[in-house]
Amino acid sequence: MNGSSLAAWLVGHKESAFAALCTVVGGTFGLSKWLVSLKHANDGPGGARLTMDGTANSAALISSGGSIGNVIVGSNNVQTITTILPEQNVPLAKRPQSSPTGNEIRQKQASATKDLPLYLQEEARKKFLASFAGVEVAWLIRISEVRARDEHENVLIVEGRFGEETWGALIGFVLSGADCPKLKTINDGHRAFVEGKIRKIEQYGQIILDVSSIEIE
């Protein structure tokens, strides 16, 4: 088709030609917009990275800033859905705790023997308390006392109560002052989050722990 014939055809089919041109331009603009959005997502704050989630029309945007977005690529649109994940540095008071908690153990201890004759309560209490040995714990406590054990100034006896209440179950453990020097600087009521295992429970109710980690507020 020569130039004059093309011009004549365009005049006769101007509506069809205009619709085709709009389709091409619109498609190109939409594709460019999508590619730009993916680049910004991939280079986003917090070192975000783009990874596929296994489907043909979506990708998961995972950011170290704590959010996940699903970029859904359709035929005519690009949609971003964002879900906020928990912060990495969760306050100690909001950390999930293991069960049974210190207070739950104390409550169960009281109910385990209350219906027994006095003569049988002592033995039943011993068996009940022994059943918790080795149970793994992750608990929030408030520290009430830190002291050196005898002449060993770097061996610290730590005591406190479970949870936030002043009536919480009694907790005790021993740590090295060299491993946790902050214990020598804290005041009464300071929060700590401890993880470890129950070594034993004393007859008067104090829960003695073997602590594997401690985080002091």
In percent, the amount of the chain with pLDDT more than 90 equals: 42
Ramachandran assignment for 120, one of left (phi > 0), alpha (psi -120 to 50 degrees), beta (any other): alpha
The Cα 29–Cα 35 span in angstroms is 10
Residue 170: count of CB within 10 angstroms of its CB: 19
Amino acid in the structure at residue 106: R
Within 13 A of 206's CA, how many CA atoms are on the CB side? 9
Q: What's the mean pLDDT in 119-142?
A: 94
What pLDDT is recorded for position 50?
A: 31
What pLDDT is recorded for position 9?
A: 55
Instruction: Name the residue among 217, 159, 163, 158 with its Cα closest to residue 190.
Output: 217
pLDDT tens-place string over residues 177-200 = 888 999 999 999 999 999 999 999
Distances (CA, A) of 48 to 4, 68, 88, 104, 152: 55, 10, 16, 42, 50
Q: Name the pLDDT band for 131 (thresholds 50, 70, 90).
A: very high
Tokens 């011009």 label which residue?
A: 7
SS3 19: helix
The Cα 81–Cα 176 span in angstroms is 48
Residue 157: count of CB within 10 angstroms of its CB: 15
User: Which superfamily is assigned to 92-216 in CATH?
Assistant: Nucleic acid-binding proteins (2.40.50.140)
Q: Name the pLDDT band for 201 (thresholds 50, 70, 90).
A: very high
Domain with CATH 2.40.50.140 in the chain: 92-216
Q: Name the pLDDT band for 6 (thresholds 50, 70, 90).
A: low
Q: What's the mean pLDDT in 5-19?
A: 55
Q: What's the mean pLDDT in 31-51?
A: 43
pLDDT tens-place string over residues 158-175 = 999 999 988 999 999 999
Q: Is 130's pLDDT higher than 50?
A: yes
